[in-house]
């Protein structure tokens, strides 16, 4: 068995990052080779595998999101079941890379968020967050030491527990002469801004609003569950944008709220999608027009964030898109039009896989934990101090 101390002695490690986001589309597993740590970190992606959730499991996860109906015995079981699924995703990516389990040093697992209650003024709850996917199950099933629960330490210190990827963005993408924005479009969209010549304390990050989440929900509703998303943005491309509905949605309080801010299913989940569908039906909009309008809305919320909160202070040279939203060509077309003349392209163009980026980040966060490096950015999360993130489950 490898101890933390033994792991820290290895200059080069093979690490797996496991991630499932708010889309609940599946577990992303990135197998990387990490050299060094902290500012010297270098990462190479060896293999990537995305392990889709079975429909039954996906529905059970969605049921957990509903506080009115979710049950504690189900929560207890799902923690272990999701742990098994994450372990299988790790084993699959190892096989895909044609490596042996004993060659892998470490797993960093984000888990599946089922509930997230960030600190808020006048909140009627205890700030807290819950990611399922029991790391002891992952460590036992794979035989690989596992670091998980990255968000809780930041919340314990008064932070939002999110976003955590900006620290990794800073390690991997900081440059000297360009100001770059890394825009991830998953279920929710979030941005990391790395000003030219930035130190870690200069990095900005925030959720910008919805990503694919509303489009996905509406596609499921329109097709009785047959379609999980608007493939390549094809349906949106056939419709036209309803400006009045777009204007209504742009009044959403999240959009004007000052950053840093986080959002999720609570604001842009099935309830939002359901209301959008009803509004569209009352105006006799065709399905393609509704999806076109939602796609335009998603693009506008991203652009509005930059217009309100970034452009007044920074001249952004380049924008790189990651996450599943980069495959939605209609969304990408809207973004290019809105942001021109700024260069906007998928992050693959600078040799990082856009679908693997978040999973890679959790592999690097695990590596940072081994060395006791704080990995939250307090100015980003609102925590009272830098915190070392993660809990350790030995193999
Ligand atoms: N070919 C595609 N066309 C359009 N959208 C896609 C495509 N592939 C993936 N997506 C979108 O990306 C989402 C998954 O993105 P991901 O980055 O994994 O999000 P999350 O981090 O929330 O899990 C899917 O739910 C879907 O909306
Ligand atoms: Mg995903």
Q: Is the pTM of this model over 0.85?
A: yes
Domain annotation covers residue 350:
no
Q: Are residues 260 and 132 in the same domain?
A: no
Number of domains in the chain: 2
Q: Are residues 126 and 178 in the same domain?
A: no
Q: Are residues 332 and 232 in the same domain?
A: yes
Ligand 1 closest atom vs CA 228: 25
Residue nearest to atom 11 of ligand 1 (CA): 324
Measured from the alpha carbon of residue 27, the closest ligand is 2
Which CATH number belongs to the domain containing residue 14 in this structure? 3.30.420.40
Domain annotation covers residue 141:
yes
Domain boundary among 340, 367, 384: 340
Q: Are residues 332 and 379 in the same domain?
A: no
Label residue 386 by pLDDT band (50, 70, 90).
very high
Q: Are residues 187 and 324 in the same domain?
A: yes
Domain annotation covers residue 348:
no
Label residue 232 by pLDDT band (50, 70, 90).
very high
> What residues line ligand 1, using a CB cutoff of 6 Å?
21-23, 25, 186-187, 212, 216, 229-233, 323-325, 327-328, 358
What is the Å distance from ligand 2's center to 197 Cα? Answer: 31
What is the Å distance from ligand 2's center to 298 Cα? Answer: 17
Q: How far is CA 166 from CA 40, 59, 327, 344, 362, in A?
A: 16, 30, 22, 19, 11
Q: Are residues 160 and 187 in the same domain?
A: no
State phi, psi for 210 to the nearest 5 degrees. -65, 150
Per-residue pLDDT tens over the stretch 63-103:
999 888 889 999 999 999 999 999 999 999 999 999 999 99
Per-residue pLDDT tens over the stretch 21-77:
988 999 999 999 999 999 999 999 999 999 999 999 999 999 999 888 889 999 999
Tokens of 320: 């790189």
Residue 260 neighbours by CB under 8 Å, 6+ apart? 160, 204, 205, 206, 379, 380, 381, 382
What is the Å distance from ligand 1's center to 27 Cα? Answer: 12
Residue 277 neighbours by CB under 8 Å, 6+ apart? 218, 221, 222, 290
Measured from the alpha carbon of residue 354, the closest ligand is 1
Per-residue pLDDT tens over the stretch 278-311:
999 999 999 999 999 999 999 999 999 999 999 9
Q: Are residues 189 and 272 in the same domain?
A: yes
Residue nearest to atom 19 of ligand 1 (CA): 186
Q: Are residues 190 and 235 in the same domain?
A: yes
- State yes or no: pLDDT of 262 exceeds 90: no
Domain annotation covers residue 347:
no
Three-state DSSP state, 311: coil
- State yes or no: pLDDT of 1 exceeds 70: no
Domain annotation covers residue 351:
no
Q: What is the dihedral of CA 264, 269, 275, 277, to 10 degrees?
A: 130
Domain annotation covers residue 64:
yes
- State yes or no: pLDDT of 387 exceeds 80: yes
Domain annotation covers residue 184:
yes
Per-residue pLDDT tens over the stretch 305-348:
999 999 999 999 999 999 999 999 999 999 999 999 999 999 99
Per-residue pLDDT tens over the stretch 3-16:
889 999 999 999 99
Q: Can you give the residue range of the structural domain that contains 317?
A: 166-340
Cα 217 to chain centroid, rounded: 17
Measured from the alpha carbon of residue 218, the closest ligand is 1
End-to-end CA distance of the chain: 7
Q: Are residues 220 and 120 in the same domain?
A: no
Q: Are residues 95 and 231 in the same domain?
A: no
Ligand 1 closest atom vs CA 216: 27
Q: Are residues 270 and 327 in the same domain?
A: yes
What is the Å distance from ligand 2's center to 112 Cα? Answer: 10
Domain annotation covers residue 345:
no
Q: How far is CA 293 from CA 75, 165, 241, 286, 306, in A?
A: 36, 29, 4, 11, 20
Burial class (CB in 10 A: 0-12, 13-18, 19+), 295: buried
What is the Å distance from ligand 2's center to 170 Cα? Answer: 22
What is the Å distance from ligand 2's center to 124 Cα? Answer: 30
Q: Are residues 117 and 211 in the same domain?
A: no
């Amino acid at each position: 068995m490898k101890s933390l101390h033994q792991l820290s002695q290895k200059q080069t490690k093979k690490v797996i990052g496991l991630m499932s986001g708010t889309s609940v589309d599946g577990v992303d597993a990135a197998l990387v080779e990490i050299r060094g740590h902290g500012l010297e970190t270098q990462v190479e992606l060896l293999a990537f595998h995305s392990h889709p959730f079975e429909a039954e499991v996906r529905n059970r996860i969605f049921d957990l999101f509903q506080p009115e109906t979710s049950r504690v015995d189900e929560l207890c079981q799902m923690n272990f079941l999701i742990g098994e699924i994450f372990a299988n995703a790790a084993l699959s990516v190892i096989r895909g890379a044609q490596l042996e389990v004993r060659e892998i040093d470490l797993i960093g697992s984000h888990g599946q968020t089922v509930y997230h209650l960030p600190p808020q003024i006048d909140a009627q709850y205890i700030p807290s967050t819950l990611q399922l996917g029991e790391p002891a199950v992952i460590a036992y099933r794979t035989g690989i030491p596992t670091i998980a629960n990255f968000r809780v330490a930041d919340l314990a210190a008064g932070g939002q527990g999110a976003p955590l990827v900006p620290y990794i963005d800073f390690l991997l993408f900081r440059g000297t002469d360009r100001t770059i924005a890394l825009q991830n479009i998953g279920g929710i969209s979030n941005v990391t801004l790395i000003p030219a010549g930035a130190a870690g304390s200069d990095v900005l990050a925030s959720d910008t609003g919805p990503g694919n989440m509303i489009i996905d929900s509406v596609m499921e509703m329109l097709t009785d569950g047959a379609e999980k998303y608007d493939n390549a943005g094809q349906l949106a491309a056939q419709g036209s944008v309803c400006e009045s509905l777009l204007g209504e949605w742009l009044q959403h309080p999240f959009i004007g709220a000052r950053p840093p801010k986080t959002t999720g299913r609570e604001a842009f989940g099935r309830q939002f999608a359901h209301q959008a569908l009803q509004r569209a039906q009352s105006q006799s909009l065709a399905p393609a027009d509704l999806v076109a309008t939602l796609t335009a809305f998603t693009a506008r919320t991203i652009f509005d964030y930059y217009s309100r909160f970034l452009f007044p202070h920074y001249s952004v040279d380049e924008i790189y898109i990651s996450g599943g939203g980069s495959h939605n060509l209609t969304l990408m077309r809207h973004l290019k039009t809105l942001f021109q003349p700024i260069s906007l392209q998928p992050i693959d163009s600078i040799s990082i896989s856009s679908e693997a980026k978040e999973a890679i980040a959790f592999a690097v966060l695990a590596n940072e934990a081994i060395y006791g490096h704080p990995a939250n950015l307090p100015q980003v999360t609102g925590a009272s101090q830098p915190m070392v993130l993660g809990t350790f489950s030995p193999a």
